[in-house]
Amino acid sequence: MRNSITLLEERFGPGKEAITARAPGRVNLIGEHTDYNGGYVLPFAIDRQTVVTIRLRTDHIIRIYAAAFDETFEASLPLVSPPSTGTWSDYLIGILLEIEKHANLPVGFNGVIAGDVPLGAGLSSSASLEVALTLSLSHLYNIKLEDLELIKLCQRAENRFVGTQSGIMDQFVSLLARDKSALLLNTTSLKHRYIPLELRDVALLVVDSGVRRSLVSSGYNDRRHECQEALHLLQELMPERGIHSLSDLSIDDLRQAESALPNTLMMRAQHVIEENERVLKAAAALEREDFITVGKLLFASHASLRDLFQVSTRELDFLVAWAGEHGALGARLVGGGFGGATLHLVPQDLAAKYTQNITIAYQEAFGLNATTIEVRPSPGAKELESR
Ligand code: GLA
């Protein structure tokens, strides 16, 4: 990757101090579609990052170049809420609109966005962009943001301006992850703790189906509404229980509500409740370095995402089924679903051959190229360099 300061100077010429912030993408080991249902998630940051380098200007112009798209966004401050365009600059505008609520930005800036998080593959390139942008901008303009404030600001930018009703997991782990650890997060209390995730004899491979999806246009928001609807019905049915989220319920509670809930909503709620249990079991298994159990939980999570939550695709199902037949300890789709990538937990000594063979099998089945990257649990953002 080209040095981002060099890139900044190539695009916009030399200048004084430049701020660089880096924020990683993430893989969610387990706990999918639970983060907007008050449940548990167990993500880790990966060794792929979005890098933002910015430098103040003396006028009110902002110019920011996104290397991945070879495009420059230009506007002038203060931003008067422009319409969203469904492109990368929505993230930038969303973040700037939120930051402008905290402070008045007296001058503009030049910036570049670079990095190596694959886009649209379920690895949270968007959250890593939001976190890197917010870190660099808050530093540049001297705006004090506590960790949780920063995380919530990024989530609001995505919810309000970009239009994805995403939960809080991605931004949380991008900022607060630790090296060689997964982060067990309770998305109701926002309490979290770190679970050691040292990959000695196992490898974690992300196999990208190459089928791109956009969370805004995918069924992500539909699923969120369905969960909301299920919650409302259950709250009406059990007013005495003071239920705040689907995660307040047990499978027994759900069984009792069977006749009152349409089947689809039952399935969505069942996924959430059982997925929470799987997350806690996976965290306990990781603490014992019991990767066999973790693997089984990954397969079970995929089956539930496929059959109950219905966010899988033929391609993702193929990759996970192939995993089961070729020595993986576990595999599942990662992220929102409807395309994107799968995560495979495989014995380390199998990893190279496995990667080769799954690519061939996938090519034969779909005529598509599956790209695989090996990921390692890595530290979160927060490193800021100024020069
Ligand atoms: C996307 C969202 C997350 C989470 C996952 C599904 O990645 O950004 O908040 O809801 O989908 O678990």
Can you give the pLDDT at residue 166? Answer: 86
Q: In what order do the strands lie in the sheet with 192-196?
A: 40-41, 181-186, 192-196
d(CA 116, CA 1): 8
Q: Please give the structure tokens belonging to residue 314.
A: 């033929």
Tell me, in angstroms, the distance from the centre of ligand 1 to residue 334's CA: 9
Q: Residue 338 carries which side chain, given as an amino acid letter?
A: F
Per the CB < 8 A criterion, the answer to whether 334 and 122 are in contact is yes
Q: Please give the structure tokens belonging to residue 141.
A: 């303009």
For 137, phi then psi, to 5°, come to -70, -40
Give the residues of the chain that fall short of pLDDT 70: 1-2, 214-217
SS3 370: coil
Nearest-CA residue for ligand 1 atom 8 is 166
Catalytic sites, residue numbers: 170
Can you give the pLDDT at residue 214? Answer: 64
Can you give the pLDDT at residue 122? Answer: 79
Inter-CA distances, 237 with 134, 259, 260, 261, 305, Å: 42, 11, 8, 10, 26
Angle at 96 between CA 138 and CA 338, to 5 degrees: 110
Can you give the pLDDT at residue 2? Answer: 60
Residues in the chain: 387
Can you give the pLDDT at residue 284? Answer: 98
Best of 27, 35, 222, 342 for a ligand 1 pocket test (most atoms within 8 Å of beta carbon): 35
d(CA 320, CA 326): 10
> In terms of DSSP bridges, do strands 40-41 and 181-186 run parallel, antiparallel, or are they unpaired?
antiparallel
Tell me, in angstroms, the distance from the centre of ligand 1 to residue 335's CA: 5
Measured from the Cα of 34, ligand 1's closest atom is 12
DSSP type of residue 147: H
Q: Please give the structure tokens belonging to residue 115.
A: 């990095």
d(CA 184, CA 28): 10
d(CA 383, CA 373): 24
Can you give the pLDDT at residue 215? Answer: 59
d(CA 248, CA 242): 9
Q: What is the pTM of this model?
A: 0.94
The DSSP result for 91-154, as a single string, is HHHHHHHHHHHH----S-EEEEEEE-PPTTSSS-HHHHHHHHHHHHHHHHTT----HHHHHHHH
The beta strand positions in 306-379, using DSSP E, are: 330-333, 341-347, 371-375
Can you give the pLDDT at residue 216? Answer: 56
d(CA 215, CA 150): 22
User: Which amino acids bring their CB within 6 angstroms of ligand 1?
Assistant: 32-33, 35-36, 166-167, 169-170, 335-336
Can you give the pLDDT at residue 121? Answer: 75
d(CA 112, CA 146): 25
SS3 209: coil
For 247-286, give one letter per residue: b (16+ CB within 10 A) or e.
Answer: bbbeeebbeebeeebeeebbbbbbbbbbbbebbbbbbebb
Composition of the chain by helix, strand, coil, percent to 5: 45, 20, 35
pLDDT in tens, 122-161: 789 999 999 999 999 999 999 999 999 999 999 999 999 9
Tell me, in angstroms, the distance from the centre of ligand 1 to residue 16's CA: 38
Please compute, for residue 378, the number of CA atoms within 13 A of its CA located in the half-sphere on the CB side. Answer: 20
Can you give the pLDDT at residue 356? Answer: 98
Tell me, in angstroms, the distance from the centre of ligand 1 to residue 310's CA: 14
Which residues are paired to 91 by β-bridges?
none
Can you give the pLDDT at residue 217? Answer: 63
Best of 34, 159, 171, 220 for a ligand 1 pocket test (most atoms within 8 Å of beta carbon): 220
